[in-house]
Amino acid sequence: MTLELDPQIAEALGPLMAGLADVAPPPVGDVDGRRVVMNTMLATVDRLQPTADDVRITDHELTTADGARLLLRWYRTSDTVGVAPGPGPAVLYLHGGGMILGSVSINDGAVSRLVSRSGVPVLAVDYRLAPEYPFPTPVEDVYAGLQWLHEHATELDVDPARIAVMGDSAGGGLAAAVSILARDRGGPAIARQLLIFPMLDDRTTIPDSHIAPFAAWTYEDNITGWQAFLGARAGGTDVPALAAPARLEDATGLPPAYLEVGQLDIFRDEDLAYALLLGRGGVPVELHLTPGAPHEYDAIAYQSDAARRALADRVRVIRSL
């Protein structure tokens, strides 16, 4: 028996795949080509989903140690009825895009819906992208965002002991990396890490014949992203865990983790291995392997039962902070 798409996901993917049938995929190393195609696709897919009208957005600016100015976008529900008084939890969110594309604004809809469903505010960091800004810049940008959220916790009505980090795809990898960095630097505190089909291992370059036909983020895309982020070091022996968390040897002291990945995602094996690594380090882990699901299935097939279950689980974990 071979692997196959979940029927509801397959139905949602149909029109998208038909539209891309005559589009030649960008060659390995073509970052600009991927930005044009994928940023447009991400924005289009997000617009198809319902809007969250009860979330207000406020923009802040962070100046990094090297003088860059980063957008920090704060999402909070406008309706406070039923919300417990006093400081509450918050989430630091990091968008996906293979380290080379995506932005905070492209994810306004997805983040707003998460905030609307959970009632928990989110701070999204518009970290700088490779190859213009390779490792360690994106990781340091995220760490600076975490520090900013802690420093402004009082004015944002946030309990600094209840801050989680969350990201999908490359953002999930950055969430894992900043959890390691915060541990190694002695803070700021992270209450939980939510890793949504995270991009963790620069060595995922050899196609799995069972997965490759369904890959929404392909092996060629992955090679391109990691080479942009790490340069000639990608796939070598001297890649640090802060760049590729799958390289981590000791997970002791990391925050509890929620991790999910689709069975047809090229990140499947590295994500399952990371969950085991965390568990062996004494880190509580909740792991979900979604049958018949490729990368980013929840955005494309958002009405599928699989996507609804995933969103419900994420909301449950966020509310538990």
Q: How many other C-beta atoms can be found within 10 angstroms of the C-beta atom of residue 188?
A: 18
Residue 265 known to be catalytic: yes
| Cβ–Cβ < 8 Å for 136, 67 | no
Residue 78 known to be catalytic: no
Catalytic residue among 265, 271, 298, 304: 265
Q: The tokens of 20 are what?
A: 């891309």
Catalytic residue among 150, 295, 298, 304: 295
Q: Is 148 helix (H, G, I), strand (E, B) or coil?
A: helix
Strand partners, 168: 196
Find, among 191, 178, 171, 166, the residue nearest to 87 by Cα.
Answer: 191
User: Which CB contacts under 8 angstroms, 24+ apart, belong to 205-210?
Assistant: 205/235, 208/266, 208/269, 210/2, 210/3
Residue 305 known to be catalytic: no
Q: How many other C-beta atoms can be found within 10 angstroms of the C-beta atom of residue 74?
A: 18
Q: How far apart are CA 179 and CA 161, in angstroms?
A: 14
Q: The tokens of 17 are what?
A: 């795949």
| Cβ–Cβ < 8 Å for 256, 285 | yes
Catalytic residue among 112, 116, 169, 179: 169
Residues recognised as catalytic: 169, 265, 295
